[in-house]
Amino acid sequence: MGRAMGLAGLLLGLLLVPAVLLSTSLGRGDPPPEPELGLGLGLGEGPLAAAAEDSLWPLPQSLRTSRRQLQLAPDRFQLVHGAGSSAGPGCGILQDAFRRYYEYIFGQSRWRSPGRRWPSLRRELSQLQVVIAAPEPGCDSYPRLASSEAYYLTIAEPVAVLKADEVWGALRGLETFSQLVHEDDYGSFLVNESVIYDFPRFAHRGILLDTSRHYLPLKSILTNLDAMAFNKFNVLHWHIVDDQSFPYQSMYFPELSNKGAYSYNHIYTPTDVRLVIEYARLRGIRVIPEFDTPGHTQSWGKGQKDLLTPCYNGEQPSGSFGPINPIWNSTYDFMTKFFKEISSVFPDAYIHLGGDEVSFDCWKSNPDVKDFMKEQGFGIDYAKLESYYIQKILDIVSSYNKGYMVWQEVFDNKAQLKPDTVVEVWMANNYAHELSSVTQAGFTAILAAPWYLDYISYGQDWKKYYSVEPRNFPGSEKQKKLLIGGEACLWGEFVDATNLTPRLWPRASAVGERLWSSSNVTDLQDAYKRLSNHRCRMLRRGIAAEPLFVGYCAHEARG
């Protein structure tokens, strides 16, 4: 039978499985080879000290940890606001995060009676004090591209201190702290004295979900936001509508989803959308909706008459429709109103306007469109018509004080873009060259091309995603800085609630570390070990993340 792992897989398996087994069972033997952490790690050489970093994901920028262990007592340990913090008990984001992370840290041990006292043979860590330094902590605001996610975490007896400029950094630091606490053989919760200074390498670290090819129940989206926070992702790119269905329930144009959704059960109501935005905000995640036009809009046509271009068969309309009709005023009236709604529903400063894969066949077939081309002096260059349309949409959206993201074709077709436009590079063919062109033109770029996670293959493909170096394109230092991040995309042709989570996690985690950690964190063996443990932790927290390879977790998914 054999299926066997293939030689490479086999070798790797032999090398790596023992490491997984060691770190998940607690009776550790020899520590695995010292990982290259890039930054000083000198103190922790004993087997127990190694445990802490063995499961950190994504790896912090700077980490020093000692062998001195502190014990946390579930019935005494507290997450609190520290002295001098600009945030206090009125800070909803932190209050919720304190409760959440307490659960993640001690989750399985809630059976302990609150009054029970454990004889503490070790030094105890009694508090994690969170201090927000900025005068305006940001408790009621939304995360932004420019938000500070940096934090400084010192864990020492008797209290740990987590300092961050804004609440967003505190959220990241809480995640790291929760990853450092581990349970020993006797059920004690231990953390090593450590000092961590951490910040993201890239400001935009996104996951794209597609709710048009298949509808994703609200619960799936929320669960995914949890997993994103565990991996320090900070952008949900919500590809909410497309050709196949229009699940977004518009207040101005309810017919769009009445007619364009798969069914009345397959829609996102305004309440659903608000819930997603708030759930994401509490985890420091921005929600950027994508309303892709003028292509990918078949489902819009069902609920909005005269929006799409009628295609012709010779002299007669064929009955089918193409992209949005760019030649009518009514189109722009509709878009003006529609994007007014979108701009107010979604608080983020950016809207994704799509602009990809416009097929010109239908436009070419339509006599009115052809007349218009002539009138405008476009000749037979339909890219000009596309740009004409996009230009008007960009102006509309700009007028609502929103910035925009677009797929790379909009740049390629030379539409005139505002300087702060974010161009998303998705075409796998020579994406380095595209990054170079986009940044040379002075635009901000986001990379998605090597991270189309819907393209599955046999084996450990996370390594491929992990090994991408986003800044590896020809260009000046200034150009490199214009690459602000990336997105892992899970297109929905073959994905719905049944397979979303195991297909996304932990494969997207590989992208998460690439976008957060230092560029020299590239050791696959070390990553395998940490990611295996991180995956087990995700299982414990209720995320059905699939295995990297052979092995097991102490707490398996329930199934």
Partner 1 sequence: MAAARPLLLLLAALGPAGAVWPQPLRQLSPPAAGRCPLSPGLFRFSYASGSAVGPGCAVLDEAFQRYRALIFGAARSAESKQPWRKPCTELSVLVSTPGCDGFPSLNSNESYKLHISRDSLLLYADAVWGALRGLETFSQLVGRDEDGMYYVNETEIVDSPRFPHRGLLLDTSRHYLPLKAILQTLDVMAYNKLNVFHWHIVDDPSFPYESFTFPELSKQGAFNAMTHVYTASDVQAVIEYARLRGIRVIAEFDTPGHTQSWGPGAPDLLTPCYLGKDPSGTYGPINPILKSTYQFVTSLFQEVGAVFPDYFLHLGGDEVDFTCWKSNPQIRAFMEEMGFGDDYTKLESFYIQRLLDIVSSLGKGYMVWQEVFDNRVKVRPDTIIHVWKNSPPYKEEMANVTKAGYKALLSAPWYLNRISYGQDWMAAYQVEPLDFTGSPEQKALVIGGEACMWGEYVDVTNLAPRLWPRAGAVAERLWSDATVRNLQDAYRRLASFRCELLRRGVQAQPLFVGYCDHEFDGV
539 touches partner 1 (CB under 8 A):
yes
Q: How far apart are CA 558 and CA 552, in angstroms?
A: 13
457 touches partner 1 (CB under 8 A):
yes
Q: How far apart are CA 541 and CA 559, in angstroms?
A: 14
The two structure tokens encoding residue 154: 């010192």
Q: How far apart are CA 445 and CA 428, in angstroms?
A: 15
Q: How far apart are CA 43 and CA 52, in angstroms?
A: 12
The two structure tokens encoding residue 63: 């980490």
| Choice between 159 and 218, CB closer to partner 1 | 218
- Locate the DSSP E strands across 221-271: 235-239
The two structure tokens encoding residue 492: 């929905």
Closest separation between CB of residue 164 and partner 1, Å? 31
| Choice between 400 and 549, CB closer to partner 1 | 549
Segment 327-346, which members bind partner 1 (CB under 8 A)? none
| Choice between 128 and 227, CB closer to partner 1 | 227
Q: How far apart are CA 437 and CA 439, in angstroms?
A: 6
HEC string of 99-164 equals HHHHHHHHHHHCCCCCCCCCCCCCEECCEEEEEECCCCCCCCCCCCCCCCCCEEEEECCCEEEEEE
Segment 466-505, which members bind partner 1 (CB under 8 A)? 489, 491-499, 501-503
Answer for which of 101, 102, 152, 215 binds partner 1 (CB under 8 A) is 215
Closest separation between CB of residue 463 and partner 1, Å? 13
Q: Positive or negative CA dihedral for 7, 8, 14, 17?
A: negative
Whether 103 is catalytic: no
550 touches partner 1 (CB under 8 A):
yes
434 touches partner 1 (CB under 8 A):
no
Amino acid letter, 58: P
18 touches partner 1 (CB under 8 A):
no
Instruction: Name the active-site residue from 34, 136, 157, 357.
Output: 357
Site string for partner 1, 236-265 (x = CB under 8 A): ---x----xx----------------xx-x
Answer for which of 219, 329, 429, 477 binds partner 1 (CB under 8 A) is 219
Residue entry with tokens 């010779």:
314
Q: How far apart are CA 27 and CA 340, in angstroms?
A: 60
545 touches partner 1 (CB under 8 A):
yes
Q: How far apart are CA 511 and CA 464, in angstroms?
A: 10
Site string for partner 1, 56-95 (x = CB under 8 A): ----------------------------------------
Using the rule CB under 8 A, give the single segment among 4-12, 36-44, 93-101, 375-383 that binds partner 1: 4-12
Nearest CA among 210, 418, 237, 250 for reference residue 334: 250
Closest separation between CB of residue 302 and partner 1, Å? 14
Using the rule CB under 8 A, give the single segment among 167-175, 297-305, 352-360, 439-447 that binds partner 1: 352-360
DSSP at 248: B
356 touches partner 1 (CB under 8 A):
yes
Q: Which residues are catalytic?
A: 357
